[in-house]
Amino acid sequence: MTLKFRYLILAFLFSPFNTQAATQDSINSVQQMYVAYYGRPGDPGGINFWAEKFDSSTNLDAVLDSFGNSQEYSDNFGSLDNETLVNGLFQQMYNRDADPEGLSFYVGRLESGAATLASIAKQIADGSQESDQDSLNNKISVANSFTEQLEANDLSYSNADIANAQAILVSVSNLAESVTSALDLVTEWVPTTIASTFGTSQWGDGSTYN
């Protein structure tokens, strides 16, 4: 089952009477969370599904908790200790390790139950400054292009594609030229995936995540 089809089912089951499109602010926030928390671009169905949840809920922490509890998280991050988890957020957003004070602070919040890892990701992302902000914004820009290409070409996005998508974002830094190079990688990835989708699959069994 593709991610696109899965989110059509979820939308029907959980929001059958809500036909209002998600706001752009929520769409931007969800893409930010995919980059910060999962280290990858969001798929179109996932972006729209969670953006509508952001818009309709009065409890952002509850939505973030639901967003963060997925098979994808369990498979890729579930066995990691708290320091590695928090440091991973900094790596995914900024390509750097957390500073010792920040690492200690957020690990403390996680271990005490004061915050979930997803809410910590949101706090760190929203507090980005200077070159860190540039790095995160650049990654989100590339992620948006990736997601737009998926939608424009009606491509499926499976678990086997995730490593490729993550590698593209890892290549993005605070430098403008890294964005140009990453967008070239996205452009190269699309025809390969189109050939895979309509020819012999290069991307695995098509099982899906979040």
Banded pLDDT at 203 (limits 50, 70, 90): very low
24 has a pLDDT exceeding 90: no
12 has a pLDDT exceeding 60: no
3 has a pLDDT exceeding 80: no
Q: Say if 210 falls within a structural domain.
A: no
- What digits encode the pLDDT tens for the residues 61-84? 899 999 998 888 888 888 899 999
Percent of the chain's residues with pLDDT above 70? 80
Q: What is the mean pLDDT of the chain?
A: 83
Banded pLDDT at 192 (limits 50, 70, 90): low
Q: Do the Cβ atoms of 67 and 99 come closer than 8 Å?
A: no
Question: In the chain, how long is the greatest CA-to-CA distance?
Answer: 51
The residue with greater pLDDT, 86 or 153, is 86
* Sequence-distant (≥ 6) Cβ neighbours of residue 198 within 8 angstroms: none
Average pLDDT over residues 155-168: 85
Report helix angle 117-126 to 60-68, nearest 10: 110
The structural domain count of the chain equals: 1
Q: Say if 206 falls within a structural domain.
A: no
Q: Say if 75 falls within a structural domain.
A: yes
Q: Say if 19 falls within a structural domain.
A: yes
Report CA 186 to chain centroid distance, whole Å: 16
7 has a pLDDT exceeding 80: no
Q: Say if 69 falls within a structural domain.
A: yes
109 has a pLDDT exceeding 70: yes
Q: Say if 203 falls within a structural domain.
A: no
Q: Say if 142 falls within a structural domain.
A: yes
Q: How many angstroms separate the Cα of 69 from the Cα of each of 41, 73, 145?
A: 17, 6, 26
Q: Say if 209 falls within a structural domain.
A: no
Residue 30, helix vs strand vs coil: helix
- What digits encode the pLDDT tens for the residues 29-50? 999 999 999 999 999 999 999 9
Structural domain boundaries, residue 190: 3-198
pTM: 0.81
CA-closest candidate to residue 149, choices 192, 180, 181, 203: 192
CA angle 58, 41, 53 (to 5 degrees): 15
